[in-house]
Amino acid sequence: MKITKNILEKNPDIEGFYKTIFWFRGKKINIGLDPDEVSIEETIMLANKILQNFEYYEKKAKDKIVDNFLDNYNENWADEEEGYSRLDEQAFRNNLELNGINFLSKDGIDVFYHENGMFGNHSLIAQAFDGENFDSSMMFG
């Protein structure tokens, strides 16, 4: 898929924000574009660069979530009595479900994952600030 201006819709809830969808592994993924201080064309260029090789970038994003949250889950959220057992890396990774990507300006990327209840149904977000490397992550919601 290649994003072009003519497939973007303006998001009525957020001024200057555009949206579209992307199909990945048979699942519809919400895409958001916020050009902020640059042209929409520059944000589209970033989105297309990432989406053209998304298998690679999605693995990097998921790796960052696993690196930052697996130990947190096992040490602070796992509770055998409540049915939340400790998880190894693969089981944790399998609980992460991609549900959205935002492209911000010309080099910001947020990749959103649903975490299958591991953290009380918060979103886990892998973040890149250089348009390439996912160096940060956060929990939201």
Q: Where are the domains of the chain?
A: 5-21+31-135
Per-residue pLDDT of 68-89, as tens digits, reads 999 999 999 998 888 889 999 9
Pairing outcome for strands 18-24 and 27-34: antiparallel
pTM equals 0.92
Distance of CA 72 to the CA centre of its chain: 19
Per-residue pLDDT of 90-141, as tens digits, reads 999 999 999 999 999 999 999 999 999 999 899 999 999 999 999 999 999 8
Per-residue pLDDT of 26-77, as tens digits, reads 999 999 999 989 999 999 999 999 999 999 999 999 999 999 999 999 999 9
Six token digits for residue 23 = 């199909």
Contacts 24+ apart (CB under 8 A), 71-75: 73/118, 73/119
Six token digits for residue 129 = 């600030």
Query: In a 10 Å sphere around its CB, with 0-12 CB exposed, 13-18 middle and 19+ buried, how is residue 68 labelled?
Result: middle
